[in-house]
Amino acid sequence: MTTMTENASGLREFKMPDVGEGLTEAEILKWYVQVGDTVTDGQVVCEVETAKAAVELPIPYDGVVSELRFPEGTTVDVGQVIIAVDVSGGTASAPAAPAAAQAPAAPPAPVAAAPVAAPEEEAKSEGRKPVLVGYGVAESSTKRRPRKGAEVPAQQSETLYAATAIQGELNGHGSAVRGRPLAKPPVRKLAKDLGVDLATVTPSGPDGIITREDVHAAAAPAPAPAPVAAPAPAAQAPARVQPQAPAPAASFDGARETRIPVKGVRKATATAMVGSAFTAPHVTEFVTVDVTRTMRLVEELKQDKDMQGLRVNPLLLIAKALLVAIKRNPDVNASWDEANQEIVQKHYVNLGIAAATPRGLIVPNIKDAHTKTLPQLAESLGELVATAREGKTSPAAMQGGTVTITNVGVFGVDTGTPILNPGESAILAVGAIKLQPWVHKGKVKPRQVTTLALSFDHRLVDGALGSQVLADTAAVLEQPKRLITWA
């Protein structure tokens, strides 16, 4: 689908890109530009939210914003024009009443049918699948976009841009588009806000990608070390994603009801949970375990030079304990193929971590977590948490999970009965870690205790297998030296 059109007056219209994955709409969360603003090729102009994640859209040309077609908060169908830019070089005159300035209650214009492409255009765009950040790119995405000044048909230029710039300006092999520095749109926006020229920044990311840290380092001659999250108190569960501040108490003096539209990530989550709850037969088992030794090990690891700068907390060792339990009981790592009536055993573990964000619950996963060392696992967990807090988790990061951990203990909750993430075989809920009276070596002593709850799909996992996975996880947390003897 074409994402931009141009008329004779030099006005180019940018359409909501094809998000792929069966998604057909996205909500405009925030405009970063207004009518009359000058925009440049690759500049992020708005943030949108699909049913999978929030992403930022860059504009594929230079010009002056002539019109914003929809206000913030509007859900727009794929293919609808969302912004018009004057690329003629003149000064654009603001419309008398731009759509974005009208009351949000004004309904959006009806979706226009997509124009039928000419045979030549169809041949050019064959195999192209323009998508949003994180959805992957088509084969044609490995082509470089011609440098400025080259004569390229508008259709071909747009095709190359949709498969590269919207993907974070990287092609399938990590090559730079048009020779510009490698950086994702959020990093480019950060550099713009700090007044940093990306061409002068030394990249430290994989394949020469400029990271946020690189931009901050360029902005400050002597940057302070990257802040490390403050350790959680020993008697509390690890904090992954801080919950939102509680909303103020409702006033009973005004309206008796408030209706909140369910859309985006929250709507997708609700649909998935209903499907999971009424498709997979859930079984949940519980175990209460003394994790005092694990908590001591956490404190020791924080002082270990090999773990310096990494996120070290109880969740790290809980994740490692579950991975060890899965290694000892590999049949638990599977999925159900309804169409073929088969159990698909997975020989890899993509470990999901449920995270509460301002836009709702998301479950990104660590790919091939079973192959990672403890420092590598800590690094992956830290990146996952930081990305989730910023609301920048990509759809790709939330796909392909096999087993999930959800930490309800951050809310002071002892335990729960978690619902399986669709397509996964098991989910482990971790309760609050508290000092409790416990019989230790024949005497009642205060010990660090938590309750684990494992829900599993009874089509895939019978009671004996589920019980063994839960028991092994608890055993590692009770005696963390088993991380060595059982690994």
- Average pLDDT (439-462) is 95
- Domain 264-485: top CATH class: alpha beta
- Residue 353 phi/psi, 5-degree rounding, is -125, 110
- Residue 178 phi/psi, 5-degree rounding, is 55, 25
3-state secondary structure 174-219: CCECCCCCCCCHHHHHHHHHHCCCHHHCCCCCHHHCCCHHHHHHHH
Please name which of 461, 207, 209, 2 lies closest in space to residue 198, comparing C-alpha atoms: 209
What are the tens digits of pLDDT across the range 339-384?
898 999 999 999 999 988 777 788 999 999 999 999 999 999 999 9
Question: Can you read off the two tokens belonging to residue 230?
Answer: 């403050």
What is the pLDDT confidence band of residue 73, given thresholds at 50, 70 and 90?
confident
Question: Can you read off the two tokens belonging to residue 5?
Answer: 């059109």
- Residue span(s) of the chain under CATH 3.30.559.10 come to 264-485
Please name which of 294, 230, 285 lies closest in space to residue 433, comparing C-alpha atoms: 294
What are the tens digits of pLDDT across the range 20-66?
555 678 888 889 999 999 999 889 899 887 766 777 888 888 999 99
Range from 125-129, 163-167, 222-226, 433-437 that averages highest in pLDDT: 433-437
Are 237 and 409 in contact by the 8 Å Cβ rule? The answer is: yes
**Is 458 one of the annotated active-site residues of the chain?**
yes
**Which residues are registered as beta bridge partners of 283?**
456
Are 185 and 191 in contact by the 8 Å Cβ rule? The answer is: no
Give, in order, the Cα–Cα distances in Å from 215 to each of 199, 218, 219, 260, 412.
Answer: 11, 5, 6, 38, 37
Look at residue 477 in the predicted model and tell me its pLDDT: 98
- Average pLDDT (249-267) is 69
| Position 428, amino acid | L
* Strands of 358-408, DSSP E: 360-362, 365-366, 403-407
Question: Can you read off the two tokens belonging to residue 202?
Answer: 């030394």
**Which residues are registered as beta bridge partners of 307?**
none
Please name which of 53, 77, 79 lies closest in space to residue 135, comparing C-alpha atoms: 53
**Interacting residues of 46 by C-beta distance below 8 A, sequence separation 6+:** 28, 29, 30, 31, 32, 33, 56, 57, 82, 83
Give ∠ CA 138-140-144 in degrees, rounded to 5: 130
- Average pLDDT (269-294) is 84
Q: In terms of pTM, does the model score above 0.85? A: no
Q: Rounded distance, CA 3 to CA 13, Å?
A: 8
Give ∠ CA 309-314-318 in degrees, rounded to 5: 115
- Using only C-alpha atoms, the chain has a radius of gyration, in whole angstroms, of 25
What is the pLDDT confidence band of residue 112, given thresholds at 50, 70 and 90?
very low
Looking at residue 235, the DSSP 8-state letter turns out to be T
Question: Can you read off the two tokens belonging to residue 55?
Answer: 């992403």
Give ∠ CA 163-164-170 in degrees, rounded to 5: 140
Burial class (CB in 10 A: 0-12, 13-18, 19+), 179: exposed
What is the pLDDT confidence band of residue 198, given thresholds at 50, 70 and 90?
confident
What is the pLDDT confidence band of residue 409, given thresholds at 50, 70 and 90?
very high
Q: Of 173, 347, 370, 458, which is the active-site residue?
A: 458
Enter the CATH code of domain 4-180: 2.40.50.100
Look at residue 185 in the predicted model and tell me its pLDDT: 67
Please name which of 114, 162, 116, 177 lies closest in space to residue 3, comparing C-alpha atoms: 162
Q: Please, where are the H alpha helices in 238-290?
A: 264-277
Q: Rounded distance, CA 158 to CA 2, Å?
A: 7
Q: Does residue 197 carry a pLDDT above 90?
A: no
**Interacting residues of 331 by C-beta distance below 8 A, sequence separation 6+:** 345, 461, 465
Q: Does residue 122 carry a pLDDT above 60?
A: no
- Average pLDDT (258-274) is 72
More confident residue, 197 or 480: 480
Q: Does residue 141 carry a pLDDT above 70?
A: no
- Average pLDDT (443-470) is 95
- Residue span(s) of the chain under CATH 2.40.50.100 come to 4-180
Q: Does residue 120 carry a pLDDT above 80?
A: no
Tell me the pLDDT of the chain averaged across its residues: 76
**Which of these ranges, 80-84, 152-156, 316-320, has the smallest mean pLDDT?**
152-156
Q: Rounded distance, CA 409 to CA 453, Å?
A: 12
Look at residue 27 in the predicted model and tell me its pLDDT: 85
Which residue carries 């994640």 as its tokens? 53
